[in-house]
């Protein structure tokens, strides 16, 4: 079966592995090979990914602090009929990563945006958590400041479904303490190192998880999931 050719003047949002290189899709590889340029959050990291799969494409750097300027440049490339692949360091562009502004700029200028789906820590953590998946609320990263973070957690008490956060290993102890104050009776799942060799799911109430993780050096990015009141 002949595969459809990439379309000119199209922005392709290409999901990349979140840890395990085998999770890249055949479609993602073909898109990266056939595009005119790859816009990458970190050109060094994406360069290593392309080298691993023996792909040679021009790289364009875009990240949080130059996304507005790069959006204009990407739109100009689309106007010239170029096929632009957009990637982040890991996972799906725009999900707690740069990309949203570029997408909005392309759509506002009348250009086609196409998702090339693949690995996503949110989906991987949620589906294997054992918590309800029929309804969930994705928060992304909570604020760094304790007061703002506590206020947001309090506001989420009234939200139904499973709550999903991203968190760094340096704040896990702090977030568990705050969850123990706000959601002491709910089931919480910590999913870390997803798709990697040391992937791990830790389950329990916030208080139980505080005991389970005490004295442990927990590395890797986390997906933190909080079940509903009746989730245990």
Rounded percentage of the chain residues whose pLDDT exceeds 70? 99
Q: How many C-beta atoms lie closer than 10 Å to residue 230's C-beta?
A: 9
211 band by pLDDT with thresholds 50, 70 and 90:
very high
CA distance 192 to 200: 5
The pLDDT score that the predictor gives to residue 231 is 43
- Do 145 and 220 have their domain in common? yes
Domain at 110, CATH number: 3.40.1010.10
The pLDDT score that the predictor gives to residue 218 is 86
- Do 61 and 128 have their domain in common? no
Q: Does the pTM of the predicted model rise above 0.85?
A: yes
The pLDDT score that the predictor gives to residue 232 is 41
CA distance 187 to 230: 9
CA distance 41 to 229: 38
Expressed as residue numbers, the domain containing 84 is: 10-116
């Amino acid at each position: 079966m002949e595969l459809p050719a990439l379309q000119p003047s199209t922005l392709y949002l290409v999901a990349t592995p979140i840890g395990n290189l085998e999770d890249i899709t055949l479609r993602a590889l073909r898109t990266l090979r056939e595009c005119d340029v790859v816009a990458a959050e970190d050109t060094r990291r994406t360069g290593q990914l392309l080298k691993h799969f023996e792909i040679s494409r021009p790289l364009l750097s875009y990240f949080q602090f130059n996304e507005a300027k790069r959006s204009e440049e990407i739109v100009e490339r689309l106007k010239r009929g170029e096929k632009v692949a957009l990637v982040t360091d890991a996972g799906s562009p725009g999900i707690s990563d740069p990309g949203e502004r570029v997408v909005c700029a392309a759509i506002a200028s009348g250009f086609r945006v196409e998702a090339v789906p693949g690995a996503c820590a949110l989906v991987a953590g949620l589906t294997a958590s054992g918590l309800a998946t029929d309804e969930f609320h994705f928060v992304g990263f909570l604020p760094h400041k304790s007061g703002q973070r506590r206020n947001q957690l309090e506001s989420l008490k009234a939200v139904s479904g499973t709550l999903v956060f991203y968190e760094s290993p340096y704040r896990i102890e702090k977030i568990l303490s705050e969850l123990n104050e706000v959601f002491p009776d709910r089931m919480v799942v910590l999913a870390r190192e997803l798709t990697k060799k040391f992937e791990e799911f830790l389950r329990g109430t916030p208080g139980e998880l505080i005991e389970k993780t005490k004295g442990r050096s927990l590395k890797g990015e986390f997906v933190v999931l909080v079940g509903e009141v009746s989730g245990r």
